[in-house]
């Protein structure tokens, strides 16, 4: 297949014996590289290469201006805006939110050579009509609003003049200046022969410049279009060229050059629906792998064209390892690089800091960033980052300041010096901090030889230096919020450009980079409405009807541009894969594109199109309950646990789910340590237990009296305060939910003591023990190693001569959970876990006091009005059952049998830990 560029070179060479005087102008630099290659391939001897320009570079050369960067335009525009009328001005942060739209409109006005005075006067009149009022006098808001529109012409003129004063221009201004300077340029280059190649949609400035050159200089123009689209009066792929044929005097007198008829040739078109974006990347990789497997050399003539350029990262990560050479034409967006979030979070730390310091979640999130890991170091000698995290969690710091960080770091002050500064920096200072962070990261990464990470750093180094220069020059970036907005704005438009061999291997590019380039195999992704074409978005201050009146482009022209690019890729290609997302998403594109439907309804091409829907292979897996066989090493863990002592809680874990017991109680895998921003349930319970122990310890061995309890009530607040400080560490209880929790604990303890005061009026209550740690040896015949049962009894007392074992619970407890029906196994149903725990406590106490009858119960602080919820056995379920609350030898003997069987099961090497469905 001979490409379009090769055809043009062949024809131009036939006309010219020498080539030094030829100037080629193409739509993009990328096309220029391929043109140079086509020239080299056609050369039979050495000669000086002709001049090759992209249209933008060519226009820049004619105008004598340089293109201003987006950031420079933004700063100069705001500076101009501040010098306008004396009315109240937006801050730079607010301004930057609408300035990009204004810059885009200014650019369009100049590129299309619109009479600015006429446009702005019409625009102001339209706004006045739109915002009319029945009131004779306009409000201040209406006056300010209309003044803004009336001042736009002045802002536009002053902005352009400010750019011209420093030899710069936005794209439109450069084009307008080039149109004015064209005569002088041609006079100085009268010996040149200009060749325009592969243009389609042209703005007014480009149209007039190219027409002028065609009319008054030695020149030629080649169009890259198929006659099939040109001859169809309604096909959008030929929309612009049909307009040129009607309006260009040159084209009325000269035949079109470059028109081909390849579209109706032999092709295979595959339209494939794939769910979601990542699946498109994976399916593209699958196609590339097939192409490589059939004939690896075909990859040199293959292009992956991204309809949605955000797919670049998943595409690059999906390319098969067998493909060694890949050339990426498009730049990688800076906001997709991990460093972007590092500096975003860094600036945000200071924006969100209040008088108390940094909120712990912001600090932990920042410390978790991979580049902060590198910066703070994780070798054996220096574990700064880990220690900061651990201390925050262990000390329960909800708010952290630089003194806290200094306290943690001690000698090694990397975090304090580079990241966590005492004073909130100014925009200029924080940019300096960012540059020092980059320098420190460079030193850290230098030895790793991570070339890509160092390239990222260098790109960000340039970015922050550029920002520093602008902040130094212009004094309106006065706060960090404005700086962050500018930083994000910059990232959205800046890219990290890939460098490689542009003519080797697989080509990955965006739709605009594909102009003038031909490939035998083309894979186009994201061919969905809202992406290809991009839809009816109107990000402009200029109304639709005014745009039409003044000849400015609308979505209609934009659709025609993408239609042309899409069909141009199909012209010479032999194998075409068109991928679309089958899952419509409002934000990421809707249903499959009208371009696909247009292809499918084309009678001349529909027969060669194959439609498919692809989806990842799914191997359904039935969830099987986990089972862990016991071996010698696991049995050793069980022996150690048995020697240390089974607790009622650990045995309850086994009853609930043996896998929980295995992970939590044998392996010690417990919940992750976290900062308690608000008091957790277990912390709440600990504070209640410790406070009651503190208050009741003086009463151990004595009989409770009303006087003692009334005096104890006076100590409640101080005791609760003390145990909050002890258990909740440095956690703040002076506000919010924690203050509520503090008062709830106070109320719980006071209500409990009030209940006790009422009880001592009716009963004699003697406190025997508090928080008693018991550990007893169990004799289980089938287990040949020592087994112990251990536990902590919250309270042991005697009421009117009857011994009671009481357990405190801050959660809710139902009476039905403590009442066992005769014949029902207490170890088979987790519902009875609380009854199981009470009998464990009773068993331990009875081992030292075998002849005692006792009662066991739970005091639920959420149900204090119910009093003690006692353990009981019942002769039947339902109403009318006889309940026995006394626990004697018979009850304990039956329980001991079940307990022995449970522990024997745990210790039996032949019985695996099998998961239960919870």
- SS3 of 399-419: the string is EECHHHHHHHHCCCCHHHHHC
Read off the pLDDT band of 223 (50, 70, 90).
Answer: very high
Choice among 236-250, 420-434, 467-481 with the minimum mean pLDDT: 467-481
Alpha carbons 880 and 874: distance in angstroms, whole number: 10
Q: Which residue has the higher pLDDT, 435 or 733?
A: 435
b/e map 219-258, b = 16+ CB within 10 Å = bbbbbbbbebbbeeeebbbbbbbbebeeebeebeeeeeeb
CA dihedral 35, 41, 46, 51 (to 10 degrees): 0
Report pLDDT digits (tens) over 546-585.
Answer: 888 888 888 888 888 989 999 999 999 999 999 999 987 7
Cα distance between residue 387 and residue 409, in whole Å = 8
Side-chain half-sphere exposure of 152, counting CA atoms within 13 A = 25
Whether 349 shows a pLDDT value over 60: the answer reads yes
When pLDDT is averaged across residues 732-740 and rounded to a whole number, the result is 70
pLDDT category, 186, cuts 50, 70, 90? very high
pLDDT(437) > 80: yes
Would you say residue 101 has pLDDT above 50?
yes
Closest to 225 (Cα-Cα) out of 215, 211, 236, 213: 236
Q: What is the pLDDT of residue 60?
A: 95
Q: Is the pLDDT of residue 96 over 60?
A: yes
Predicted local confidence at residue 494, as pLDDT: 79
- Evaluate if residue 528 carries a pLDDT over 60: yes
Q: DSSP assignment, residue 516?
A: T
What pLDDT, on the 0 to 100 scale, is given for residue 677? 47
Most confident of 127-141, 538-552, 722-736, 771-785: 771-785
pLDDT number for residue 384: 47
Percent of the chain clearing pLDDT 90 (strictly above): 42
Out of 146-150, 432-436, 484-488, 541-545, the most confident range is 432-436
pLDDT tens digits for range 471-524: 888 888 888 988 888 888 788 777 887 766 777 789 999 888 889 899 999 999
- Contact between 737 and 750 under an 8 Å Cβ cutoff? The reply is no
Of 159-168, 501-510, 598-607, highest mean pLDDT: 159-168
| pLDDT classification of 380: cutoffs 50, 70, 90 | very low
How many residues are listed for the chain in this entry? 918
CB of 800 within 8 A of CB of 703? no
Give 357's strand partners: 354
What pLDDT was estimated at residue 192?
94
pLDDT of 638 strictly over 80: yes
DSSP E strands, 765-830: 765-778, 787-799, 802-809, 819-821
Distance CA 839, CA 833 (A): 10
Q: Computed over its alpha carbons, how large is the radius of gyration of the chain?
A: 40
Q: For residue 589, what pLDDT is reported?
A: 65
Comparing 164 with 606, the larger pLDDT belongs to 164
More confident residue, 818 or 737: 818
Helices (H) and strands (E) in the chain, counts: 35, 29
CA-based nearest residue to 202, from 570, 560, 542, 516: 560
Provide the Cα torsion 315, 316, 317, 323; round to 10°. 110
Residue 593 has pLDDT above 80, yes or no: yes
d(CA 881, CA 873): 10
Identify the CA nearest to 304 among candidates 329, 279, 274. Answer: 329
Distances in Å between the alpha carbon of 620 and those of 617, 623, 740, 917?
Answer: 10, 9, 49, 20
State mean pLDDT over 273-278: 91
Tokens of residue 665, six digits: 């109680």
Cα gap 834→838, rounded to integer Å: 6
Q: How do beta strands 765-778 and 787-799 pair?
A: antiparallel
What's the pLDDT at 676? Answer: 47
- % of the chain exceeding 70 in pLDDT: 92
pLDDT tier, 170 (very low <50, low <70, confident <90, very high otherwise): very high
Pick from 279, 225, 280, 305: nearest CA to 257? 225
438 within 8 A of 457, measured Cβ to Cβ: yes
Would you state the pLDDT for residue 662? 92
The pLDDT assigned to 903 comes to 94
Distance CA 4, CA 517 (A): 7
pLDDT higher at 113 or 96: 113
pLDDT of residue 590: 74
pLDDT, average across residues 832-843: 92
Among 901, 916, 914, 892, which Cα is nearest to 827's?
Answer: 901
Neighbours of 748 (CB within 10 A): 22
With a cut of 90, say whether residue 733 has pLDDT above it: no
- Lowest average pLDDT, out of 7-16, 269-278, 332-341, goes to 332-341
From residue 727, give the alpha-carbon distance in Å to each of 24, 44, 683, 721, 723: 78, 87, 7, 10, 6
- pLDDT attached to residue 89: 81
Task: Report whether pLDDT(302) > 60.
Answer: yes
Of 261-270, 533-542, 673-682, which gets the smallest average pLDDT? Answer: 673-682
- Predicted pLDDT of residue 385: 45
Q: Which among 63-67, 86-90, 453-457, 535-539 has the top mean pLDDT?
A: 63-67
Q: Which of 361-370, 376-385, 510-519, 885-894 bottoms out in mean pLDDT, i.e. has the lowest? A: 376-385
Residue 586: pLDDT over 60 = no
pLDDT at 413: 75
Query: Does 447 score more than 80 pLDDT?
Result: no
Q: What is the mean pLDDT of the chain?
A: 86
Instruction: Provide mean pLDDT across the span 123-127.
Output: 77
CA 336 to chain centre: 10
Interval 617-633 mean pLDDT: 85
């Amino acid at each position: 297949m001979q490409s379009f560029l090769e055809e043009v070179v062949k024809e131009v060479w036939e006309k010219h014996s020498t080539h030094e005087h030829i100037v080629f102008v193409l739509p993009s630099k990328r096309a220029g590289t391929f043109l140079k290659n086509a020239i080299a391939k056609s050369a039979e001897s050495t000669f000086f290469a002709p001049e090759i320009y992209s249209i933008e570079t060519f226009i820049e050369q004619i105008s004598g201006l340089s293109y201003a960067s987006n950031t420079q335009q933004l700063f100069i525009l705001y500076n101009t805006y501040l010098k306008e009328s004396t009315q109240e001005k937006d801050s730079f942060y607010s301004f930057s939110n609408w300035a990009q739209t204004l810059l885009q409109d200014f650019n369009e006005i100049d590129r299309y050579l619109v009479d600015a005075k006429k446009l702005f006067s019409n625009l102001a009149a339209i706004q006045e009509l739109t915002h009319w009022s029945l009131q004779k006098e306009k409000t201040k808001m209406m006056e300010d609003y209309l003044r803004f529109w009336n001042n736009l012409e002045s802002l536009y003129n002053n902005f352009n003049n400010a750019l011209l004063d420093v030899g710069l221009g936005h794209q439109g201004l450069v084009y307008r200046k080039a149109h004015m300077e064209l005569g002088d340029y041609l006079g100085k280059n009268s010996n040149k022969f200009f060749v325009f190649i592969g243009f389609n949609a042209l703005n007014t400035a480009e149209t007039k410049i190219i027409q002028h050159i065609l009319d008054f200089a030695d020149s030629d123009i080649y169009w890259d279009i198929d006659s099939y689209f040109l001859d169809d009066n309604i096909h959008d792929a030929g929309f612009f060229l049909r307009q040129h044929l009607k309006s260009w005097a040159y084209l009325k007198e000269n035949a079109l050059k470059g028109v081909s008829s390849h579209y109706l040739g032999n092709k295979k078109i595959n339209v494939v629906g794939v769910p979601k974006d990542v699946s498109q990347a994976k399916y593209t990789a699958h196609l590339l792998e097939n192409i490589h497997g059939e004939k690896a050399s075909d990859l040199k003539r293959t292009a992956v064209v991204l309809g949605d350029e955000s797919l670049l990262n998943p595409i690059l990560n999906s390319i098969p390892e067998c493909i060694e050479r890949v050339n990426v034409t498009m730049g990688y967006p800076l906001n997709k690089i991990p460093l972007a979030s590092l500096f975003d979070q860094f600036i945000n730390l200071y924006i969100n800091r209040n008088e108390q310091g940094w909120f712990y979640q912001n600090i932990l999130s920042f410390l978790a960033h991979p580049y902060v890991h590198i910066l703070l170091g994780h070798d054996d000698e220096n574990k700064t980052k880990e220690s900061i995290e651990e201390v925050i969690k262990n000390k329960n710091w909800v708010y952290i300041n630089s003194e806290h960080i200094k306290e943690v770091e001690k000698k090694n002050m990397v975090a304090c010096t580079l990241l966590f500064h005492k004073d909130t920096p100014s925009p200029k200072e924080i940019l300096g901090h960012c540059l020092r962070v980059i320098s420190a990261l460079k030193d850290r990464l230098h030895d790793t030889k991570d070339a890509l990470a160092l390239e990222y750093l260098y790109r960000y180094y340039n970015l922050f230096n550029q920002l520093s220069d602008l902040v130094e020059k212009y004094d309106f970036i006065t706060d960090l919020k404005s700086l962050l907005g500018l930083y994000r704005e910059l990232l959205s438009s800046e890219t990290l450009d890939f460098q490689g061999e542009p003519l080797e291997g697989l080509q990955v590019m965006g739709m605009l980079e594909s102009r003038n380039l031909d490939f035998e195999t083309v894979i186009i992704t994201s061919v969905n409405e809202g992406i290809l074409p991009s839809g009816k978005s109107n990000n402009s201050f200029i109304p639709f009807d005014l745009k039409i009146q003044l000849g400015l482009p609308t979505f209609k022209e934009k659709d025609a541009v993408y239609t042309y690019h899409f069909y141009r890729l199909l012209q010479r290609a032999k194998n075409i894969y068109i991928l679309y997302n089958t899952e419509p998403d409002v934000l990421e594109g809707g249903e499959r594109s009208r371009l696909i439907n247009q292809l499918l309804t084309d009678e001349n091409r529909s027969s060669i199109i194959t439609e498919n829907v692809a989806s990842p292979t799914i191997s359904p897996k039935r969830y099987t309950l986990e089972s862990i066989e016991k071996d010698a090493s696991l049995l050793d863990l069980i022996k150690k646990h048995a020697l240390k002592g089974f607790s009622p809680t650990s045995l309850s874990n086994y009853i609930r789910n043996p896998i929980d017991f295995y992970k939590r109680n044998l392996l010690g895998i417990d919940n992750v340590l976290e900062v308690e921003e608000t008091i957790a349930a277990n912390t709440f319970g600990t504070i209640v237990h410790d406070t009651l122990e503190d208050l009741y310890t003086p009463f151990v061995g004595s009989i409770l009296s009303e006087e003692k309890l009334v005096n104890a009530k006076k100590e409640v607040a101080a005791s609760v305060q003390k145990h909050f400080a002890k258990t909740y560490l440095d956690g703040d209880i002076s506000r919010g939910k924690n203050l509520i929790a503090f008062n709830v604990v106070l109320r719980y303890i006071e209500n409990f003591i009030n209940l006790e005061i009422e009880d001592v009026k009716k009963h004699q209550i003697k406190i025997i023990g508090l928080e008693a740690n018991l550990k007893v040896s169990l004799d289980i015949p089938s287990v040949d190693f020592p087994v112990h049962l251990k536990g902590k009894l919250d309270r042991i007392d005697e009421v009117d001569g009857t011994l009671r074992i009481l357990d405190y619970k801050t959660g809710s407890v139902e009476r039905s959970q403590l009442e066992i029906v005769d014949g029902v196994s207490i170890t088979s149903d987790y519902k009875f876990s609380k009854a199981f725990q009470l009998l464990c406590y009773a068993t331990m106490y009875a081992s030292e006091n075998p002849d005692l009858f006792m009662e066991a119960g739970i005091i639920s602080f959420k149900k204090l009005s119910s009093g003690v919820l006692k353990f009981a056995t019942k002769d039947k379920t339902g109403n009318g059952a006889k309940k026995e609350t006394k626990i004697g030898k018979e009850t304990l003997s039956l329980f001991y049998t079940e307990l022995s069987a449970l522990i024997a099961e745990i210790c039996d090497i032949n019985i695996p830990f099998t998961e239960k469905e919870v």
